[in-house]
Chains A and B, each alone.
Chain A
Protein backbone atom coordinates (compact mmCIF):
# COMPACT_ATOMS: atom_id res chain seq x y z
CA UNK A 1 0.00 0.00 0.00
CA UNK A 2 2.77 2.45 0.85
CA UNK A 3 3.94 2.23 -2.74
CA UNK A 4 0.61 3.65 -3.84
CA UNK A 5 1.31 6.78 -1.85
CA UNK A 6 3.07 9.98 -2.65
CA UNK A 7 3.65 9.32 -6.28
CA UNK A 8 4.87 12.41 -8.06
CA UNK A 9 5.29 13.02 -11.72
CA UNK A 10 8.62 11.94 -13.08
CA UNK A 11 9.41 9.66 -10.17
CA UNK A 12 8.30 6.64 -12.08
CA UNK A 13 8.51 6.01 -15.79
CA UNK A 14 5.11 4.65 -16.69
CA UNK A 15 5.15 1.79 -19.16
CA UNK A 16 2.89 2.31 -22.12
CA UNK A 17 1.01 -0.94 -21.64
CA UNK A 18 -0.69 -1.76 -18.40
CA UNK A 19 1.25 -4.18 -16.25
CA UNK A 20 -1.47 -6.78 -16.62
CA UNK A 21 -1.13 -6.86 -20.35
CA UNK A 22 2.63 -6.74 -20.00
CA UNK A 23 2.59 -9.73 -17.67
CA UNK A 24 0.64 -11.78 -20.18
CA UNK A 25 2.59 -10.63 -23.22
CA UNK A 26 5.31 -13.08 -24.20
CA UNK A 27 7.39 -10.39 -25.90
CA UNK A 28 9.62 -10.92 -28.93
CA UNK A 29 7.01 -10.58 -31.68
CA UNK A 30 5.42 -13.50 -33.55
CA UNK A 31 8.39 -15.75 -32.94
CA UNK A 32 8.02 -15.01 -29.25
CA UNK A 33 4.34 -15.94 -29.41
CA UNK A 34 5.20 -19.23 -31.07
CA UNK A 35 7.83 -20.08 -28.47
CA UNK A 36 5.43 -19.13 -25.68
CA UNK A 37 2.70 -21.37 -27.15
CA UNK A 38 5.02 -24.34 -27.50
CA UNK A 39 6.50 -23.99 -24.04
CA UNK A 40 3.02 -23.60 -22.52
CA UNK A 41 1.82 -26.70 -24.35
CA UNK A 42 4.85 -28.72 -23.22
CA UNK A 43 4.41 -27.54 -19.66
CA UNK A 44 0.68 -28.41 -19.59
CA UNK A 45 1.32 -31.79 -21.19
CA UNK A 46 3.97 -32.57 -18.58
CA UNK A 47 1.61 -31.64 -15.75
CA UNK A 48 -1.29 -33.63 -17.21
CA UNK A 49 1.00 -36.61 -17.83
CA UNK A 50 2.37 -36.49 -14.28
CA UNK A 51 -1.11 -36.33 -12.75
CA UNK A 52 -2.78 -38.94 -14.94
CA UNK A 53 0.09 -41.37 -14.40
CA UNK A 54 0.10 -40.99 -10.62
CA UNK A 55 -0.71 -44.30 -8.91
CA UNK A 56 -3.90 -42.93 -7.34
CA UNK A 57 -5.16 -41.09 -10.43
CA UNK A 58 -8.01 -43.48 -11.21
CA UNK A 59 -9.34 -43.22 -7.70
CA UNK A 60 -9.04 -39.42 -7.75
CA UNK A 61 -10.65 -39.27 -11.18
CA UNK A 62 -13.57 -41.36 -9.99
CA UNK A 63 -14.05 -39.41 -6.76
CA UNK A 64 -13.38 -35.85 -7.97
CA UNK A 65 -14.35 -35.70 -11.62
CA UNK A 66 -17.61 -37.55 -12.00
CA UNK A 67 -19.80 -35.82 -14.55
CA UNK A 68 -22.98 -37.53 -13.36
CA UNK A 69 -22.44 -36.32 -9.79
CA UNK A 70 -21.53 -32.87 -11.10
CA UNK A 71 -24.78 -32.57 -13.02
CA UNK A 72 -26.79 -33.95 -10.13
CA UNK A 73 -25.35 -31.62 -7.52
CA UNK A 74 -25.01 -28.36 -9.46
CA UNK A 75 -28.64 -27.14 -9.35
CA UNK A 76 -28.94 -27.46 -5.60
CA UNK A 77 -25.49 -25.96 -4.99
CA UNK A 78 -26.37 -23.04 -7.27
CA UNK A 79 -29.50 -22.40 -5.24
CA UNK A 80 -27.44 -22.56 -2.05
CA UNK A 81 -24.95 -20.17 -3.64
CA UNK A 82 -27.62 -17.46 -3.64
CA UNK A 83 -27.21 -17.39 0.13
CA UNK A 84 -23.48 -16.66 -0.33
CA UNK A 85 -24.35 -13.85 -2.72
CA UNK A 86 -26.86 -12.45 -0.25
CA UNK A 87 -24.35 -12.63 2.61
CA UNK A 88 -21.48 -10.91 0.83
CA UNK A 89 -23.68 -8.28 -0.80
CA UNK A 90 -25.19 -7.19 2.50
CA UNK A 91 -21.91 -7.52 4.39
CA UNK A 92 -19.92 -5.49 1.84
CA UNK A 93 -22.23 -2.47 2.19
CA UNK A 94 -21.77 -2.37 5.95
CA UNK A 95 -18.04 -3.10 5.70
CA UNK A 96 -17.38 -0.18 3.36
CA UNK A 97 -19.18 2.24 5.66
CA UNK A 98 -17.95 0.91 8.99
CA UNK A 99 -14.34 0.54 7.85
CA UNK A 100 -14.31 4.12 6.56
CA UNK A 101 -15.56 5.27 9.94
CA UNK A 102 -12.75 3.32 11.66
CA UNK A 103 -10.12 4.69 9.31
CA UNK A 104 -11.27 8.27 9.89
CA UNK A 105 -11.19 7.65 13.63
CA UNK A 106 -7.64 6.45 13.34
CA UNK A 107 -6.48 9.42 11.32
CA UNK A 108 -7.91 12.03 13.69
CA UNK A 109 -5.04 14.30 14.72
CA UNK A 110 -4.12 15.70 18.11
CA UNK A 111 -3.82 14.34 21.65
CA UNK A 112 -7.52 14.86 22.40
CA UNK A 113 -8.51 12.07 20.04
CA UNK A 114 -5.98 9.62 21.41
CA UNK A 115 -8.63 7.33 23.02
CA UNK A 116 -10.52 7.07 19.72
CA UNK A 117 -7.34 6.40 17.78
CA UNK A 118 -6.31 3.79 20.33
CA UNK A 119 -9.73 2.18 20.10
CA UNK A 120 -9.50 1.96 16.32
CA UNK A 121 -6.01 0.44 16.57
CA UNK A 122 -7.05 -2.13 19.17
CA UNK A 123 -10.07 -3.00 17.06
CA UNK A 124 -8.03 -3.55 13.91
CA UNK A 125 -5.40 -5.57 15.77
CA UNK A 126 -7.97 -7.76 17.46
CA UNK A 127 -10.17 -8.57 14.51
CA UNK A 128 -7.29 -9.09 12.14
CA UNK A 129 -5.72 -11.39 14.69
CA UNK A 130 -8.64 -13.72 15.43
CA UNK A 131 -9.39 -16.32 12.76
CA UNK A 132 -12.64 -15.47 10.97
CA UNK A 133 -14.09 -18.92 11.59
CA UNK A 134 -13.72 -18.40 15.35
CA UNK A 135 -15.45 -15.00 15.27
CA UNK A 136 -18.27 -16.62 13.32
CA UNK A 137 -18.56 -19.56 15.71
CA UNK A 138 -18.40 -17.41 18.85
CA UNK A 139 -20.99 -14.90 17.63
CA UNK A 140 -23.17 -17.38 15.79
CA UNK A 141 -23.54 -19.76 18.70
CA UNK A 142 -22.84 -17.37 21.56
CA UNK A 143 -25.07 -14.39 20.82
CA UNK A 144 -28.29 -16.38 20.28
CA UNK A 145 -27.28 -18.42 23.34
CA UNK A 146 -28.00 -15.39 25.50
CA UNK A 147 -31.66 -15.91 24.61
CA UNK A 148 -32.42 -12.24 25.10
CA UNK A 149 -35.62 -11.08 23.51
CA UNK A 150 -34.95 -9.07 20.38
CA UNK A 151 -31.61 -10.75 19.72
CA UNK A 152 -31.98 -12.55 16.38
CA UNK A 153 -31.22 -16.26 16.25
CA UNK A 154 -30.75 -16.30 12.48
CA UNK A 155 -27.42 -17.85 11.51
CA UNK A 156 -27.29 -15.70 8.38
CA UNK A 157 -27.65 -12.58 10.50
CA UNK A 158 -24.81 -13.50 12.84
CA UNK A 159 -22.66 -14.73 10.01
CA UNK A 160 -23.00 -11.34 8.35
CA UNK A 161 -22.24 -9.53 11.62
CA UNK A 162 -19.08 -11.59 12.12
CA UNK A 163 -17.88 -10.99 8.56
CA UNK A 164 -18.56 -7.25 8.89
CA UNK A 165 -16.55 -7.10 12.12
CA UNK A 166 -13.58 -9.00 10.69
CA UNK A 167 -13.46 -7.48 7.23
CA UNK A 168 -13.96 -3.93 8.51
CA UNK A 169 -10.66 -4.32 10.34
CA UNK A 170 -8.86 -5.20 7.10
CA UNK A 171 -10.67 -2.65 4.99
CA UNK A 172 -10.10 0.15 7.53
CA UNK A 173 -6.36 -0.44 7.09
CA UNK A 174 -6.78 -0.16 3.34
CA UNK A 175 -8.64 3.13 3.73
CA UNK A 176 -6.03 4.37 6.17
CA UNK A 177 -3.25 3.65 3.71
CA UNK A 178 -5.23 5.60 1.12
CA UNK A 179 -5.73 8.54 3.47
CA UNK A 180 -2.07 8.60 4.39
CA UNK A 181 -1.06 8.48 0.75
CA UNK A 182 -2.62 11.90 0.12
CA UNK A 183 0.21 14.37 0.46
CA UNK A 184 0.00 16.57 3.60
CA UNK A 185 0.32 19.63 1.38
CA UNK A 186 -3.17 18.87 0.09
CA UNK A 187 -4.60 19.24 3.54
CA UNK A 188 -2.56 22.34 4.22
CA UNK A 189 -3.76 23.89 0.97
CA UNK A 190 -7.38 23.05 1.70
CA UNK A 191 -7.18 24.47 5.21
CA UNK A 192 -5.52 27.63 3.93
CA UNK A 193 -8.44 28.08 1.55
CA UNK A 194 -10.70 28.22 4.58
CA UNK A 195 -12.14 24.72 4.56
CA UNK A 196 -12.81 23.24 7.98
CA UNK A 197 -11.11 20.01 9.01
CA UNK A 198 -14.29 18.05 8.26
CA UNK A 199 -14.73 19.66 4.87
CA UNK A 200 -11.09 19.02 4.03
CA UNK A 201 -11.50 15.36 4.87
CA UNK A 202 -14.75 14.99 2.97
CA UNK A 203 -14.00 17.05 -0.11
CA UNK A 204 -10.25 16.83 -0.55
CA UNK A 205 -8.68 13.88 1.24
CA UNK A 206 -11.26 11.08 1.02
CA UNK A 207 -12.14 11.42 -2.69
CA UNK A 208 -8.48 10.99 -3.59
CA UNK A 209 -7.80 8.37 -0.95
CA UNK A 210 -10.75 6.15 -1.87
CA UNK A 211 -10.02 6.30 -5.58
CA UNK A 212 -6.49 5.12 -4.96
CA UNK A 213 -7.49 2.15 -2.88
CA UNK A 214 -10.26 0.79 -5.08
CA UNK A 215 -8.09 -2.14 -6.31
CA UNK A 216 -7.17 -3.33 -2.79
CA UNK A 217 -10.79 -2.79 -1.72
CA UNK A 218 -11.94 -5.10 -4.48
CA UNK A 219 -9.26 -7.53 -3.42
CA UNK A 220 -10.76 -7.66 0.06
CA UNK A 221 -14.20 -7.97 -1.47
CA UNK A 222 -13.07 -11.11 -3.29
CA UNK A 223 -11.73 -12.44 0.01
CA UNK A 224 -15.09 -11.72 1.60
CA UNK A 225 -16.94 -13.61 -1.11
CA UNK A 226 -14.92 -16.71 -0.43
CA UNK A 227 -15.19 -16.40 3.33
CA UNK A 228 -18.99 -16.52 3.15
CA UNK A 229 -18.41 -20.28 3.01
CA UNK A 230 -17.44 -20.11 6.69
CA UNK A 231 -20.99 -19.16 7.64
CA UNK A 232 -21.89 -22.74 6.77
CA UNK A 233 -20.29 -23.85 10.05
CA UNK A 234 -23.26 -22.28 11.85
CA UNK A 235 -25.70 -24.58 10.07
CA UNK A 236 -26.65 -22.31 7.18
CA UNK A 237 -26.79 -24.28 3.97
CA UNK A 238 -24.72 -22.19 1.59
CA UNK A 239 -22.80 -23.48 -1.42
CA UNK A 240 -19.91 -25.07 0.45
CA UNK A 241 -22.17 -26.66 3.04
CA UNK A 242 -24.47 -27.98 0.34
CA UNK A 243 -21.51 -29.49 -1.48
CA UNK A 244 -20.32 -31.03 1.80
CA UNK A 245 -23.75 -32.57 2.23
CA UNK A 246 -23.52 -34.09 -1.23
CA UNK A 247 -19.96 -35.24 -0.70
CA UNK A 248 -20.75 -36.84 2.63
CA UNK A 249 -23.82 -38.54 1.25
CA UNK A 250 -22.01 -40.08 -1.69
CA UNK A 251 -18.36 -40.09 -0.57
CA UNK A 252 -17.67 -38.41 -3.91
CA UNK A 253 -15.94 -35.02 -4.02
CA UNK A 254 -17.24 -33.82 -7.36
CA UNK A 255 -19.77 -31.59 -5.59
CA UNK A 256 -16.87 -29.59 -4.11
CA UNK A 257 -15.67 -28.94 -7.62
CA UNK A 258 -19.08 -27.60 -8.57
CA UNK A 259 -19.03 -25.22 -5.59
CA UNK A 260 -15.47 -24.11 -6.42
CA UNK A 261 -16.50 -23.32 -9.99
CA UNK A 262 -19.37 -21.15 -8.77
CA UNK A 263 -17.02 -19.12 -6.57
CA UNK A 264 -14.49 -18.78 -9.37
CA UNK A 265 -17.23 -17.74 -11.77
CA UNK A 266 -17.87 -14.59 -9.77
CA UNK A 267 -14.38 -13.82 -8.44
CA UNK A 268 -12.56 -13.98 -11.79
CA UNK A 269 -14.69 -11.31 -13.51
CA UNK A 270 -14.18 -9.14 -10.44
CA UNK A 271 -10.42 -9.67 -10.54
CA UNK A 272 -10.33 -8.72 -14.23
CA UNK A 273 -12.48 -5.68 -13.46
CA UNK A 274 -9.95 -4.68 -10.79
CA UNK A 275 -7.14 -4.99 -13.30
CA UNK A 276 -9.08 -2.87 -15.74
CA UNK A 277 -9.63 -0.19 -13.08
CA UNK A 278 -5.93 -0.11 -12.31
CA UNK A 279 -5.10 0.19 -15.98
CA UNK A 280 -7.65 2.95 -16.49
CA UNK A 281 -6.35 4.83 -13.49
CA UNK A 282 -2.83 4.60 -14.85
CA UNK A 283 -3.95 5.86 -18.26
CA UNK A 284 -5.76 8.80 -16.73
CA UNK A 285 -2.83 9.84 -14.65
CA UNK A 286 -0.58 9.64 -17.65
CA UNK A 287 -3.01 11.70 -19.69
CA UNK A 288 -3.19 14.33 -16.99
CA UNK A 289 0.58 14.47 -16.92
CA UNK A 290 0.65 14.43 -13.15
CA UNK A 291 0.45 11.45 -10.87
CA UNK A 292 -2.24 11.15 -8.20
Chain B
Protein backbone atom coordinates (compact mmCIF):
# COMPACT_ATOMS: atom_id res chain seq x y z
CA UNK B 1 0.00 0.00 0.00
CA UNK B 2 2.60 2.60 0.86
CA UNK B 3 4.29 1.86 -2.42
CA UNK B 4 1.21 2.86 -4.34
CA UNK B 5 1.43 6.20 -2.68
CA UNK B 6 5.08 6.64 -3.43
CA UNK B 7 4.71 5.92 -7.12
CA UNK B 8 2.49 8.86 -8.03
CA UNK B 9 4.76 11.02 -5.87
CA UNK B 10 7.76 9.79 -7.79
CA UNK B 11 6.00 10.44 -11.04
CA UNK B 12 5.12 13.93 -9.90
CA UNK B 13 8.72 14.45 -8.86
CA UNK B 14 10.00 13.38 -12.24
CA UNK B 15 7.46 15.57 -13.99
CA UNK B 16 8.57 18.50 -11.84
CA UNK B 17 12.22 17.79 -12.59
CA UNK B 18 11.48 17.64 -16.30
CA UNK B 19 9.50 20.85 -16.07
CA UNK B 20 12.37 22.50 -14.22
CA UNK B 21 14.86 21.26 -16.79
CA UNK B 22 12.82 22.58 -19.67
CA UNK B 23 12.27 25.84 -17.80
CA UNK B 24 15.97 26.47 -17.32
CA UNK B 25 16.80 25.38 -20.82
CA UNK B 26 13.71 26.91 -22.33
CA UNK B 27 13.53 26.93 -26.12
CA UNK B 28 14.93 30.12 -27.59
CA UNK B 29 11.62 30.96 -29.20
CA UNK B 30 9.95 31.85 -25.87
CA UNK B 31 12.82 34.24 -25.17
CA UNK B 32 12.32 36.17 -28.37
CA UNK B 33 11.98 39.82 -27.51
CA UNK B 34 8.46 40.08 -28.94
CA UNK B 35 7.15 37.13 -26.93
CA UNK B 36 8.39 38.39 -23.56
CA UNK B 37 5.73 39.44 -21.11
CA UNK B 38 7.09 42.75 -19.84
CA UNK B 39 5.90 45.31 -17.34
CA UNK B 40 5.95 47.91 -20.09
CA UNK B 41 5.90 46.33 -23.55
CA UNK B 42 8.96 46.86 -25.72
CA UNK B 43 11.01 48.10 -22.78
CA UNK B 44 13.08 46.12 -20.31
CA UNK B 45 12.33 47.77 -16.96
CA UNK B 46 15.08 47.21 -14.42
CA UNK B 47 14.83 48.15 -10.77
CA UNK B 48 17.50 49.18 -8.30
CA UNK B 49 17.81 51.25 -5.15
CA UNK B 50 18.53 54.97 -4.96
CA UNK B 51 21.20 56.13 -4.18
CA UNK B 52 23.05 53.76 -6.51
CA UNK B 53 26.37 53.13 -4.79
CA UNK B 54 29.75 52.31 -6.31
CA UNK B 55 31.21 49.97 -7.33
CA UNK B 56 27.83 48.55 -8.37
CA UNK B 57 27.00 51.73 -10.20
CA UNK B 58 29.42 54.36 -11.47
CA UNK B 59 29.71 57.26 -13.85
CA UNK B 60 28.05 59.84 -11.63
CA UNK B 61 24.64 61.34 -12.01
CA UNK B 62 23.98 63.91 -14.75
CA UNK B 63 22.14 67.13 -13.92
CA UNK B 64 18.39 66.67 -13.69
CA UNK B 65 18.64 62.94 -13.04
CA UNK B 66 16.55 61.63 -10.15
CA UNK B 67 19.34 59.22 -9.28
CA UNK B 68 21.77 60.12 -6.52
CA UNK B 69 25.49 59.38 -6.57
CA UNK B 70 25.21 57.38 -9.81
CA UNK B 71 22.67 57.07 -12.59
CA UNK B 72 22.30 53.38 -13.54
CA UNK B 73 21.52 54.29 -17.15
CA UNK B 74 25.15 55.28 -17.75
CA UNK B 75 26.02 51.60 -18.18
CA UNK B 76 28.93 52.10 -15.82
CA UNK B 77 29.51 50.18 -12.63
CA UNK B 78 29.32 46.43 -12.15
CA UNK B 79 25.57 45.90 -11.92
CA UNK B 80 24.73 48.47 -14.58
CA UNK B 81 27.20 46.80 -16.96
CA UNK B 82 25.78 43.34 -16.18
CA UNK B 83 22.23 44.57 -16.71
CA UNK B 84 23.04 46.08 -20.10
CA UNK B 85 24.98 42.98 -21.16
CA UNK B 86 21.96 40.82 -20.29
CA UNK B 87 19.62 43.25 -22.05
CA UNK B 88 21.78 43.05 -25.16
CA UNK B 89 21.64 39.25 -25.07
CA UNK B 90 17.85 39.46 -24.87
CA UNK B 91 17.82 41.77 -27.89
CA UNK B 92 17.22 45.12 -26.23
CA UNK B 93 19.13 48.20 -27.35
CA UNK B 94 20.40 50.62 -24.73
CA UNK B 95 17.47 52.96 -25.31
CA UNK B 96 15.00 50.13 -24.76
CA UNK B 97 16.17 49.72 -21.18
CA UNK B 98 14.44 51.78 -18.47
CA UNK B 99 15.55 52.00 -14.84
CA UNK B 100 13.13 52.39 -12.00
CA UNK B 101 13.64 53.13 -8.33
CA UNK B 102 12.92 50.06 -6.20
CA UNK B 103 13.87 50.28 -2.52
CA UNK B 104 15.14 46.93 -1.30
CA UNK B 105 12.00 46.19 0.71
CA UNK B 106 9.77 46.82 -2.31
CA UNK B 107 11.63 44.25 -4.37
CA UNK B 108 9.87 41.39 -2.63
CA UNK B 109 6.56 43.03 -1.69
CA UNK B 110 3.53 41.04 -2.82
CA UNK B 111 1.44 42.34 -5.69
CA UNK B 112 2.32 43.51 -9.18
CA UNK B 113 5.97 44.36 -9.59
CA UNK B 114 7.02 47.64 -11.14
CA UNK B 115 10.10 46.02 -12.71
CA UNK B 116 10.94 43.11 -14.96
CA UNK B 117 13.89 42.36 -12.77
CA UNK B 118 15.63 44.03 -9.86
CA UNK B 119 19.41 44.09 -9.60
CA UNK B 120 20.49 45.42 -6.24
CA UNK B 121 23.11 43.18 -4.59
CA UNK B 122 20.41 40.85 -3.37
CA UNK B 123 21.74 37.57 -2.05
CA UNK B 124 20.02 34.33 -2.89
CA UNK B 125 18.67 32.36 0.06
CA UNK B 126 16.28 29.39 -0.08
CA UNK B 127 13.73 31.22 2.11
CA UNK B 128 13.72 34.24 -0.18
CA UNK B 129 13.42 32.00 -3.22
CA UNK B 130 10.03 30.85 -1.91
CA UNK B 131 8.67 34.35 -2.45
CA UNK B 132 10.50 35.61 -5.52
CA UNK B 133 12.35 33.98 -8.38
CA UNK B 134 16.10 34.52 -8.53
CA UNK B 135 18.31 34.45 -11.59
CA UNK B 136 21.45 32.36 -11.41
CA UNK B 137 24.49 33.99 -9.83
CA UNK B 138 25.96 37.06 -11.48
CA UNK B 139 28.44 37.54 -8.66
CA UNK B 140 29.76 35.24 -5.95
CA UNK B 141 30.20 37.40 -2.92
CA UNK B 142 32.26 37.35 0.24
CA UNK B 143 31.60 39.29 3.42
CA UNK B 144 34.19 41.64 4.88
CA UNK B 145 34.58 43.79 7.98
CA UNK B 146 35.50 47.49 7.95
CA UNK B 147 37.05 49.12 11.04
CA UNK B 148 38.60 52.47 11.99
CA UNK B 149 42.38 52.51 11.94
CA UNK B 150 44.00 52.69 15.36
CA UNK B 151 41.04 51.25 17.27
CA UNK B 152 41.26 48.06 19.35
CA UNK B 153 39.42 45.97 16.81
CA UNK B 154 41.93 46.96 14.11
CA UNK B 155 44.47 44.57 15.63
CA UNK B 156 42.18 41.54 15.41
CA UNK B 157 43.33 38.77 13.05
CA UNK B 158 40.68 36.10 13.52
CA UNK B 159 36.92 35.61 13.44
CA UNK B 160 36.95 34.61 17.12
CA UNK B 161 38.79 37.83 17.93
CA UNK B 162 35.81 39.84 16.67
CA UNK B 163 33.42 38.40 19.25
CA UNK B 164 33.78 40.97 22.06
CA UNK B 165 33.15 43.94 19.75
CA UNK B 166 30.04 45.85 18.77
CA UNK B 167 29.41 45.00 15.13
CA UNK B 168 26.91 46.46 12.72
CA UNK B 169 25.36 45.65 9.37
CA UNK B 170 22.79 47.04 7.03
CA UNK B 171 19.21 45.85 7.27
CA UNK B 172 18.25 43.27 4.69
CA UNK B 173 21.81 42.20 4.01
CA UNK B 174 23.06 38.72 4.64
CA UNK B 175 25.88 40.46 6.54
CA UNK B 176 23.64 40.55 9.61
CA UNK B 177 22.95 36.81 9.39
CA UNK B 178 26.64 36.33 8.94
CA UNK B 179 27.40 38.21 12.18
CA UNK B 180 24.76 36.28 14.11
CA UNK B 181 25.54 32.80 12.83
CA UNK B 182 29.25 32.84 11.99
CA UNK B 183 30.86 35.49 14.23
CA UNK B 184 28.38 35.10 17.13
CA UNK B 185 29.46 38.25 19.00
CA UNK B 186 28.80 38.73 22.70
CA UNK B 187 27.01 42.05 22.08
CA UNK B 188 23.80 42.52 20.14
CA UNK B 189 24.86 43.71 16.68
CA UNK B 190 23.37 46.97 15.40
CA UNK B 191 21.28 47.03 12.24
CA UNK B 192 20.79 50.10 10.08
CA UNK B 193 17.98 50.62 7.58
CA UNK B 194 20.29 52.64 5.34
CA UNK B 195 23.91 52.47 4.29
CA UNK B 196 24.32 56.09 5.42
CA UNK B 197 23.32 55.25 8.99
CA UNK B 198 25.69 52.31 9.19
CA UNK B 199 28.56 54.42 7.90
CA UNK B 200 27.77 57.26 10.31
CA UNK B 201 27.68 54.86 13.26
CA UNK B 202 31.13 53.57 12.34
CA UNK B 203 32.44 57.14 12.11
CA UNK B 204 30.86 57.94 15.49
CA UNK B 205 32.40 54.88 17.18
CA UNK B 206 28.86 53.68 17.90
CA UNK B 207 29.93 50.40 16.34
CA UNK B 208 33.46 48.98 16.22
CA UNK B 209 33.15 47.10 12.96
CA UNK B 210 30.84 47.23 9.96
CA UNK B 211 30.20 44.00 8.09
CA UNK B 212 29.42 44.50 4.40
CA UNK B 213 30.09 42.63 1.19
CA UNK B 214 33.68 42.87 0.02
CA UNK B 215 33.23 45.24 -2.95
CA UNK B 216 31.17 47.61 -0.82
CA UNK B 217 33.83 47.49 1.91
CA UNK B 218 36.34 49.01 -0.49
CA UNK B 219 33.95 51.81 -1.36
CA UNK B 220 33.31 52.46 2.35
CA UNK B 221 37.02 52.73 3.12
CA UNK B 222 37.93 54.71 0.01
CA UNK B 223 35.12 57.24 0.04
CA UNK B 224 32.69 57.05 2.94
CA UNK B 225 34.76 56.69 6.10
CA UNK B 226 38.14 58.41 6.22
CA UNK B 227 40.82 56.64 8.24
CA UNK B 228 39.13 53.26 7.95
CA UNK B 229 40.38 49.98 6.56
CA UNK B 230 39.14 46.61 5.43
CA UNK B 231 40.19 44.43 8.34
CA UNK B 232 39.66 41.33 6.28
CA UNK B 233 37.24 39.16 4.38
CA UNK B 234 35.67 35.96 5.59
CA UNK B 235 35.97 32.55 4.06
CA UNK B 236 32.96 31.74 1.99
CA UNK B 237 30.41 29.72 3.86
CA UNK B 238 29.56 26.26 2.56
CA UNK B 239 27.70 26.52 -0.71
CA UNK B 240 28.84 30.12 -1.01
CA UNK B 241 26.78 33.23 -1.29
CA UNK B 242 25.77 34.85 -4.53
CA UNK B 243 23.83 37.79 -5.87
CA UNK B 244 20.89 37.12 -8.14
CA UNK B 245 18.46 39.31 -10.01
CA UNK B 246 14.99 39.28 -8.49
CA UNK B 247 11.86 38.48 -10.50
CA UNK B 248 8.24 38.17 -9.48
CA UNK B 249 7.63 34.55 -8.45
CA UNK B 250 7.49 32.27 -11.47
CA UNK B 251 8.24 34.96 -14.07
CA UNK B 252 9.41 33.04 -17.19
CA UNK B 253 11.75 35.93 -18.00
CA UNK B 254 14.08 34.54 -15.30
CA UNK B 255 14.85 31.52 -17.49
CA UNK B 256 15.73 33.82 -20.40
CA UNK B 257 17.99 35.92 -18.20
CA UNK B 258 19.64 32.71 -16.96
CA UNK B 259 20.35 31.76 -20.57
CA UNK B 260 21.82 35.19 -21.20
CA UNK B 261 23.97 34.93 -18.06
CA UNK B 262 25.17 31.46 -19.10
CA UNK B 263 26.25 32.85 -22.46
CA UNK B 264 27.99 35.83 -20.82
CA UNK B 265 29.76 33.48 -18.45
CA UNK B 266 30.84 31.18 -21.28
CA UNK B 267 32.20 33.91 -23.54
CA UNK B 268 34.07 35.62 -20.69
CA UNK B 269 32.03 38.84 -20.62
CA UNK B 270 31.06 38.32 -16.98
CA UNK B 271 34.75 37.97 -16.00
CA UNK B 272 35.68 41.05 -18.00
CA UNK B 273 32.96 43.18 -16.39
CA UNK B 274 34.09 41.95 -13.00
CA UNK B 275 37.70 42.81 -13.80
CA UNK B 276 36.77 46.31 -14.92
CA UNK B 277 34.50 47.26 -12.03
CA UNK B 278 35.46 45.05 -9.10
CA UNK B 279 39.21 44.80 -9.65
CA UNK B 280 39.96 46.16 -6.20
CA UNK B 281 37.62 43.77 -4.47
CA UNK B 282 40.05 40.90 -4.14
CA UNK B 283 43.03 41.93 -2.10
CA UNK B 284 41.83 41.64 1.47
CA UNK B 285 43.35 39.23 3.98
CA UNK B 286 41.15 36.30 4.92
CA UNK B 287 40.10 36.10 8.56
CA UNK B 288 39.82 32.58 9.86
Contacts and interface: CB of A to CB of B under 8 A. Distances in A.
B205 interface: yes
A18 interface: no
Label chain A's interface by main secondary structure. helix
B105 A141 contact: no
A77 interface: no
Interface string B194-221: 0001101101111100000000000000
Interface string A228-246: 0000111111000100110
Interface residues on B, range: 20 to 34
Given A141-B197, A235-B197, A251 B128 contact: yes
Interface stretch (A55-63, A107-115, A205-213): A55-63
A252 B105 contact: no
A235 B201 contact: yes
B57 interface: no
A132 to B, nearest CB: 15
B192 interface: yes
Interface residues on A, range: 20 to 34
A249 B108 contact: no
B206 A235 contact: yes
A137 to B, nearest CB: 8
A10 interface: no
A248 B206 contact: no
Given A147-B205, A245-B176, A235 B198 contact: yes
B125 to A, nearest CB: 7
Contact of B191 (A137, A141, A245, A252): A245
Nearest to A80: B188
Given A60-B110, A250-B125, 20 more contacts: A59-B249, A63-B110, A141-B197, A141-B204, A144-B205, A145-B203, A153-B206, A154-B206, A234-B201, A244-B171, A245-B171, A245-B191, A248-B104, A248-B105, A248-B171, A249-B172, A249-B176, A250-B131, A251-B131, A252-B127
Interface of B: 104-105, 108, 110-111, 125, 127-128, 130-132, 168, 171-172, 174, 176-177, 188-193, 197-198, 200-201, 203-207, 249
